[in-house]
Amino acid sequence: MSQPEPHPAVVVEALRAEIAQFRLLANSVPVAIAYYEAQGFTCRFANRGYCEMFGRDEASVIGCTFAEVIGPGAATLIQPLVDRMLAEHRATSYEREIAGPDGVPRHIDVNLLPHLDAERRLVGAFVLIADITRHRHAEYALRQSEERLAKFMHASAEGIVFHKGGRITDVNPPLLTMLGYTLDEMMGRMTLDFIPPQERPRVAAVIASGAEIGYQSLATHKSGSEIPVEFIVRTMRHNDETLRMTVVRDMRDRLAAQERIHFLAHHDALTGLPNRYSFIERIEALVPKAVDRGERFALVFIDLDHFKRVNDSLGHLVGDALLRTVARRITSNLRSTDLVARFGGDEFVVLLADDAPPEAVHEVAHKLLQVVGEPVELEGRLISVTPSIGVSLFPEHGRTPDELIKHADTAMYDAKSRGRARFSVFAPAMAEAAYRALALEGQLAQALRDGEFVLHFQPQRSLADGALAGVEVLIRWRHPEQGLIEPDHFLPVAESRRLMVPIGHWVLEQALLQAARWAAAGLMQVPVAVNLSAEQCAEPDFAERIERALLETGLPPPMLELELTERTLMDEQPEVRAALHRLKRHGVRVAVDDFGTGYSSLGLLKDLPIDRLKIDRSFVKDLPHDGRAAAIASAIVQLGHGLGLEVLAEGVETDQQRDWLAGRGCNAMQGFLDARPMPAAEFEAWLQRG
């Protein structure tokens, strides 16, 4: 018996329910779905995802062609794929990038599925679109990560190795260079193959533990040599695998730098000698041993005389070269058991150990005076500096490094005060003298600040007619408690403590001011003679300072005479010579003071712009009865005249001395016979009396 036909209304309702169920399903799947009929390729169905993907709703999509939905540009781009599906009746797919409704680019995977009827005629096509933006971003990020890792591996200056269970999976070029292997020679081998045997247990334990640590070890070069390295070990995930990454840092440069730093902490960078710190350490270690054994040792303190002149006139590069030469000379003339150190500047200290007796110490000091003082040829010129040397003995002069160094330094200053280029052994009296010199140094600085220095003036007369030939300026110290102090009592300290430059500048400026006043008043039209120290001449702006002082005071340059000692001139410093020639072109006069007591050569006298020689008072005081003094004085007069120079005799105190000098053709005299040095006011009155 056949079933009754369902009521049409029931059928329609059931169909509607199925359609609603299908639409619910289509809108719920994470895929954009559309159906286009073959004729005209117009859209007959689209789920919510498809509509939203192109910024539309269902009403605006149904009935549109695919070109109208996706845009003419995209339609032209994918038309060849559509044509192939139509021709071959086979599914096809493609990927492309579209702009989402929010304007953000999105990657989509599109599948075109042909709809064929029973006779395999194409009646339409299904379009299935999956948003694969997230997948593509993940792939891109992974690719970028791998590229960054590869770049890091190749760009890193440090070696990197990846291994799994100790077996190498990758190595970067810096590690290959460090160890001397190729990539093929290392890939697949065990990491321990490249570790020295004594280090393998330790490295294997780190691998087994999985610890993330850094530690120092050794690696083996292909040649068999061992390289100090630092391993920095990390665990990482890569391509779903757990790998160990080890950064291999070459420690050779770092260790060399540490050794260099340690060396520089204990040695002088310029000469390579031990420095003060290292030297004191050595003495501290030696003292208790010497006490236990009853042994002696000595400290020899060496300071180069007038070394600052070399730096100021020839430059620090020449000065450094000279210091290196001095260091070599000292070390090459001592025993291997002796220690030489540079304390800084131009100071060197020698430790004479091994129970050196005083006689041997004296012999070493004499030898050092000789070898250090020999001229050095630098940049095509001969340079010489003499050493002043002080000696202290253990245990007589101290039992601590500080005492021994201080007393050797005190003895060195004693050597300087006695004329330099000699050595002195410490004596207790020197300490008191050093203390007095230190106190005097402070007083001199205060005297300069408080205006306690005054100038005295001594006339110079022509021996031919008795006319005033010049005036020498002499400094005095009006001490608030001790009264007037002669320069011999304080200038040596000022020179050794480097106060001569500011004191000399003050003398020059005040002398020019006073001479300018007297010249303006018509009281004096002769040169004023100012003594210059070696330290002043070594100043880089030596000539400029004098030119500026003349300009500021208004004194004509021919009314200034600069007096320099032979010792100052004998160094033959090109800068000093150039400065003197420059001043000479302005008309400034130059005199050689204390002539006959130094070591000047005839060549020096010929080349320098000298106007006058001053015979030292030591040759004048015994005239005319002392034959040797007479011979020297007469020779100086003849030499001066032969060179076209004026000659002036200092320290003339008797008529016989004056007459003898006049008879030998000496041009001028200066001394107590004519007048003693006078304060400015008294000398002005002397000038007014005519």
The tens digit of pLDDT for each residue in 518-555 reads 999 999 899 999 998 878 887 888 889 999 999 999 99
Cα dist from 394 to 121, 405, 407, 428, whole Å: 121, 11, 11, 14
Q: Binning pLDDT at 50, 70 and 90, where does residue 150 land?
A: low
Written as six digits, the tokens of 278 are 């290292």
The hierarchical CATH code for the domain 450-688 is: 3.20.20.450
Q: What is the pLDDT of residue 295?
A: 86
Whole-number Å distance between alpha carbons of 372 and 678: 44
Whole-number Å distance between alpha carbons of 58 and 50: 9
CA 522, distance to chain mean position in Å, is 57
Other beta carbons within 10 angstroms of residue 219's beta carbon come to 23
Q: Which residues contact 445 (CB under 8 A, 6 or more apart)?
A: 499
Domain spanning 137-255, CATH architecture: 2-Layer Sandwich (3.30)
Lowest mean pLDDT among 110-119, 147-156, 508-517: 147-156
Q: Is the pLDDT of residue 68 over 70?
A: yes
Q: Binning pLDDT at 50, 70 and 90, where does residue 221 land?
A: very high
Whole-number Å distance between alpha carbons of 403 and 428: 12
Q: Is the pLDDT of residue 145 over 60?
A: no
Strand (E) or helix (H) holding 238? strand 226-238
Residue extents of the structural domains in the chain: 16-131, 137-255, 271-426, 450-688
Q: What is the pLDDT of residue 262?
A: 78
Q: What is the pLDDT of residue 570?
A: 63
Q: What is the pLDDT of residue 417?
A: 76
Among the four given CATH numbers 1.10.287.130, 3.40.50.1970, 3.30.450.20, 2.40.50.140, the one describing domain 16-131: 3.30.450.20
Whole-number Å distance between alpha carbons of 512 and 64: 111
Q: What is the pLDDT of residue 460?
A: 94
Q: Binning pLDDT at 50, 70 and 90, where does residue 182 land?
A: very high
Q: Binning pLDDT at 50, 70 and 90, where does residue 482 land?
A: confident
572, 598 contact by CB (below 8 A): no
Written as six digits, the tokens of 310 are 């070399």
Strand partners of residue 348: 302, 342
Q: Is the pLDDT of residue 248 over 70?
A: yes
Q: What is the pLDDT of residue 133?
A: 79
Per this entry, what is the length of the chain?
690
Q: Which residues contact 620 (CB under 8 A, 6 or more apart)?
A: 629, 633, 649, 650, 651, 652, 657, 661, 671
Q: What is the pLDDT of residues 281-334, one digit of tens each?
A: 999 988 888 888 888 899 999 999 878 778 776 778 888 989 999 999 999 888
Q: What is the pLDDT of residue 422?
A: 87
Angle, to 10 degrees, between the axis of helix 574-586 and the axis of helix 307-314?
70
Domains 16-131 and 137-255 belong to one CATH topology: yes
Q: Binning pLDDT at 50, 70 and 90, where does residue 404 land?
A: very high
167, 186 contact by CB (below 8 A): no
How many CA atoms, within 13 angstroms, populate the side-chain half-sphere of residue 620?
Answer: 31
Averaged pLDDT, 37-54: 87
- Of 684, 638, 677, the closest CA to residue 531 belongs to 677
Q: What is the DSSP letter of 199?
A: G
Averaged pLDDT, 237-242: 68
Q: Binning pLDDT at 50, 70 and 90, where does residue 147 land?
A: low
Q: What is the pLDDT of residues 608-637, one digit of tens each?
A: 889 999 998 889 999 898 889 899 999 999
- Of 542, 473, 563, 486, the closest CA to residue 513 belongs to 473
- Of 254, 251, 278, the closest CA to residue 264 belongs to 278
Q: Is the pLDDT of residue 99 over 90?
A: no
List phi, psi (to 5°) of 611: -105, -30
Q: What is the pLDDT of residue 603?
A: 62
459, 471 contact by CB (below 8 A): yes
- Of 496, 497, 577, 518, the closest CA to residue 542 belongs to 577
Whole-number Å distance between alpha carbons of 159 and 183: 13
Q: Which residues contact 56 (CB under 8 A, 6 or more apart)?
A: 69
Q: Is the pLDDT of residue 143 over 70?
A: no
Whole-number Å distance between alpha carbons of 561 and 527: 6
Q: Binning pLDDT at 50, 70 and 90, where does residue 686 land?
A: very high
Q: Is the pLDDT of residue 140 over 70?
A: no
CATH class of the region 271-426? alpha beta
